[in-house]
Structure 1
């Protein structure tokens, strides 16, 4: 009985050894399996790490009764992430997996995982387990690749840190031209000024205005225009003399008024500008167009058909009924002198505006309030001034929009969004949509941001920048370059790097002003590494670290620079 039991045990052991022999042989010869990984160094694009593995099994390697489960795993400090498992089977296995022939075979595998910043410095390992007739054996793990090149993520990390928000401009003008006009009308063929004309409202208003400008400190005279006209009926020579006489009488009159008011500007050289017009055809046309004369279209057509004044006059006189109306209603208005005094209204100085907004802003107008924000580089002060403008002018679109713009620069996205919602309620125009797009982009809501940018009635440099940045995040680098066009920026250069146009990116960065976060300089270093231009790489890295020392730690994890990790000059920069 004991002998039978011993034979049974030996039989079971032999069976197990037979089952394991194929697996152990496969494990022993595992180094004969060849793997090709695409890309050779893993990269992240559009937030994912894509992987393709092509495997080649030699002849008589793959046991016909074996099932292999292979799991690519990205291993990094503090964790690991598995790609989708792939299962392969021998020719005799009754299952629904990819079959590998014992005579030698190939397989191809594609998968992806979401990218995490911890994966920046990582290794791709392949873990394989073989199973035959219920017995499993783990093969030795194989390193397939390094990872992960994360250059594309620089758009999200640094390309949105300086959003192209639009600040709506103020309309403040310190010097505002203004003026006052009056007409003196004459009887036909006369040039003397009647007393009744000097009692008209416009003349009285002009005299009052002269006194006002004289006394108000914020008003100053520019010049005095005197224009005299004769109506276009009558001989040209006579009208020329008549217009000159009317100019003389009007000029004498206005000079007396300035002298009565003791305004010395009248004696300044060039202050009074005189002009006479012998036949006022332009005035004639304007008055006819404004009138309800029955034949006015015909009259205007005559003016356009004949350029000779005498012919014009005769043709119009030939329309006897029309001419009677012209003689009564139009021509008397043209026998005149026009008096125009031009004045500059001088607004508060920059210093006065800042003093006023910090003491009693209620006396400032809207444009002065908005302008005040341009007088300081302090973002907190700018925000304060725009908030004052919004409080005093709650229907002002520009005030709320600009509150949002400054809030974004301060990093307060909640305040920016709240201000933009108020602006949107007043008017949902393209500027508001643009700025809401950048708020969404900075929050990481790229689909929402894209909707805002594309809903604008016309694209702008700013909205194209936003859409180009989104295209980078989606891995659409050709599209990004098209959006950016030739506008130089970090994101534009980055898009060219990611699409493989290193020379264009290098040329753009070399002609750009670098910025304090150091990202453009770091991108120079990446270009140098990819072009195998060691000096350009070192200079870019040195410049980046001088702006922001955090690059010295980041670069040690960045496999863009793997070939330089043992370079003494490289190490001297980062250690």
Structure 2
């Protein structure tokens, strides 16, 4: 009986103690806590928050332990932040000690991974209280409302994927030449030279070019003398060689009915040609000769010093100097490519199969041409050219068919592992999939891609580095660029960017409404939101967006949203 009475007394005592403790450490008032920022704000892909609070004097039991966990509640679910532990002054442990008499301030930091459902949410601190290992009480205290999720508007889908460039030239310039050689100190044209295979082929080419409506022709004569024998002699010799060659060529052109001018010039001492031939030769002492050329600019001094190199001069006289006694016939040819109209017509007929890869790639950029058709043909006819695969991927990307785009970009990258464009475009797909680390790695290998800065700008927004995002976008006029400026709080610049967008969409107007909201322009909020709704913006999204919360009581905004 005594034993039973003792047990009952013990149970009652423990119960009273627990009840006493529970009452003592009752739920705290929300006025004790301040969240920063409030409301919360999305930064990159994270929602950081710092909550400063205080345990009141005499609230914290000397033997109690308290675990404080930030909790984000939204749409019937919740996400837990990082727990923080505290203990009373009579607890032996490693947690932060709070003294009962004076209480104590505390700071709780947390960083939530953002998901769109969190847009309409509430932040609580969850207190879990125990004493000597016995759980006493749990309670939640609300400390902040919702998340400003404007940064989530960054959209890699709207970045223009990088287009692999074509090398199409409307006018292609070519130069064709042939040499007429002369004997030492002579300027007479020799029949053996005039009837050489090179000269004959050159004249036939000139005739062919002149008769081709898509080619323009210009003819030159450049006559030379070798740099031995003195300047005065060589000047007269080179001039005579030029005159004889020009007269001969004019007669030949007239005979062939080729009506074109002959532009002629001569060089008295061809030191430049001499240096090139020596450099390319196998002369034993060619470095000595080249050193003389670099040391002396005076032609007479050069000639004298080179002749002093007796071991090499005789070889120069036999192998190098004779090749400098010449007249060069030069045919400058301009090949006129197809016009835009001709290319468009060709892509819409069987003539498409006759186009070169450069013509095809260029034609795909013209209005009235099916990009998918042309790029598909490029991948078939020029399967080892990465550009066709990359640009076909761009077509799929624009359609929103990211699976096919991914396959095309992968093929392009496998053909040319160093190509910048597929890397950049694969980075866009990685951002769309939420893999910003992969995107960053790919963009590091995409230097030179034509829309790289736009892709980098979006990546920096997603990383929360808004200053770098603004720098990357530069003067780009896009929704993403304006968003970066809004997040950097440069609202005037953001509105200028939005005004400069040619094809304004619902997001453009939505961002204008945010600029208006942040600059207290109520009429601007109403008019911009109306334009956004007219273009398909969701009224529900607007209602859940804390950017507009304080404007919902405005009559114009209320009527527009049907409130």
Using structure 2 for the length normalisation, give the TM-score: 0.80
Match 2:551 to one of 564, 569, 573:
564
**1:153 maps to 2:164:** no
Give the drift of 1:252: 1.3
**1:365 maps to 2:351:** no
Which residue matches 1:39? 37
Correspondence list, 1:86-101, <5 A:
none
Correspondence list, 1:66-77, <5 A:
76=74
**1:507 maps to 2:493:** yes
CA shift in 2, pair 1:255/1:572, >3 Å = farther
Give the drift of 1:550: 0.4
CA shift in 2, pair 1:355/1:103, >3 Å = same
Contact 1:509 1:520 in 2 (8 A): no
**1:293 maps to 2:283:** yes
CA shift in 2, pair 1:251/1:75, >3 Å = same
Q: Deviations over 1:14-47 (max 9, x none)?
A: x9999879978987x9769744344332334454
**1:214 maps to 2:210:** yes
Provide the C-alpha distance between the structure 1 equivalents of 2:160 and 2:546, rounded to a whole number of angstroms: 31
Which residue matches 1:231? 226
Which residue matches 1:519? 507
Match 1:309 to one of 299, 316, 325:
299
Provide the C-alpha distance between the structure 1 equivalents of 2:232 and 2:87, rounded to a whole number of angstroms: 114
CA shift in 2, pair 1:24/1:299, >3 Å = closer
CA shift in 2, pair 1:355/1:285, >3 Å = same
**1:276 maps to 2:276:** no
Give the drift of 1:142: 6.5
CA shift in 2, pair 1:459/1:506, >3 Å = farther
Give the drift of 1:144: 3.9
Contact 1:526 1:537 in 2 (8 A): yes
Provide the C-alpha distance between the structure 2 equivalents of 1:574 and 1:543, rounded to a whole number of angstroms: 12
Provide the C-alpha distance between the structure 2 equivalents of 1:30 and 1:303, rounded to a whole number of angstroms: 93
Provide the C-alpha distance between the structure 1 equivalents of 2:181 and 2:17, rounded to a whole number of angstroms: 126
CA shift in 2, pair 1:526/1:401, >3 Å = same
Contact 2:224 2:270 in 1 (8 A): yes
Q: Deviations over 1:268-297 (max 9, x none)?
A: xxx321102222222233333333333433
Provide the C-alpha distance between the structure 2 equivalents of 1:107 and 1:461, rounded to a whole number of angstroms: 54
Which residue matches 1:168? 164
Contact 1:83 1:112 in 2 (8 A): no
Using structure 1 for the length normalisation, give the TM-score: 0.79
Provide the C-alpha distance between the structure 2 equivalents of 1:304 and 1:67, rounded to a whole number of angstroms: 87
RMSD: 4.3
CA shift in 2, pair 1:282/1:415, >3 Å = same
Q: Deviations over 1:294-345 (max 9, x none)?
A: 3433333333333333333344444455443333333322222111111112
Correspondence list, 1:126-275, <5 A:
144-155=143-154, 158=155, 160-221=156-217, 223-263=218-258, 265-266=259-260, 271-275=261-265
Provide the C-alpha distance between the structure 1 equivalents of 2:96 and 2:192, rounded to a whole number of angstroms: 111
CA shift in 2, pair 1:41/1:192, >3 Å = same
Provide the C-alpha distance between the structure 2 equivalents of 1:280 and 1:404, rounded to a whole number of angstroms: 54
SS of equivalent residue, structure 2 residue 550: helix
CA shift in 2, pair 1:87/1:407, >3 Å = same
CA shift in 2, pair 1:67/1:249, >3 Å = closer
CA shift in 2, pair 1:377/1:507, >3 Å = farther
Contact 1:506 1:524 in 2 (8 A): no
Provide the C-alpha distance between the structure 1 equivalents of 2:177 and 2:454, rounded to a whole number of angstroms: 50
Give the drift of 1:433: 2.1
Which residue matches 1:6? none
Contact 2:175 2:331 in 1 (8 A): yes
**1:442 maps to 2:439:** no
Q: Which moved more, 1:189-198 or 1:289-298?
A: 289-298
- In structure 2, the gaps of 5 or more residues are 1-10
Q: Deviations over 1:517-570 (max 9, x none)?
A: 343553444344344455665565566556x34065432221122222212344
Give the drift of 1:425: 1.9
Give the drift of 1:226: 0.9
Give the drift of 1:185: 1.8
Q: Deviations over 1:332-364 (max 9, x none)?
A: 222221111111122222222222233233211
SS of equivalent residue, structure 1 residue 449: helix
Which residue matches 1:79? 76
SS of equivalent residue, structure 2 residue 438: helix
What is the total number of aligned residue pairs between the two structures? Answer: 545
SS of equivalent residue, structure 1 residue 502: coil
Contact 1:188 1:332 in 2 (8 A): yes
SS of equivalent residue, structure 1 residue 217: coil
Which residue matches 1:416? 405
Q: Deviations over 1:60-81 (max 9, x none)?
A: 66799999999876555x5242
Provide the C-alpha distance between the structure 2 equivalents of 1:179 and 1:290, rounded to a whole number of angstroms: 22
Q: Which moved more, 1:343-352 or 1:287-296?
A: 287-296
CA shift in 2, pair 1:468/1:290, >3 Å = closer
CA shift in 2, pair 1:191/1:463, >3 Å = closer
Correspondence list, 1:341-360, <5 A:
341-360=331-350
CA shift in 2, pair 1:124/1:305, >3 Å = closer
CA shift in 2, pair 1:232/1:549, >3 Å = same
**1:550 maps to 2:558:** no
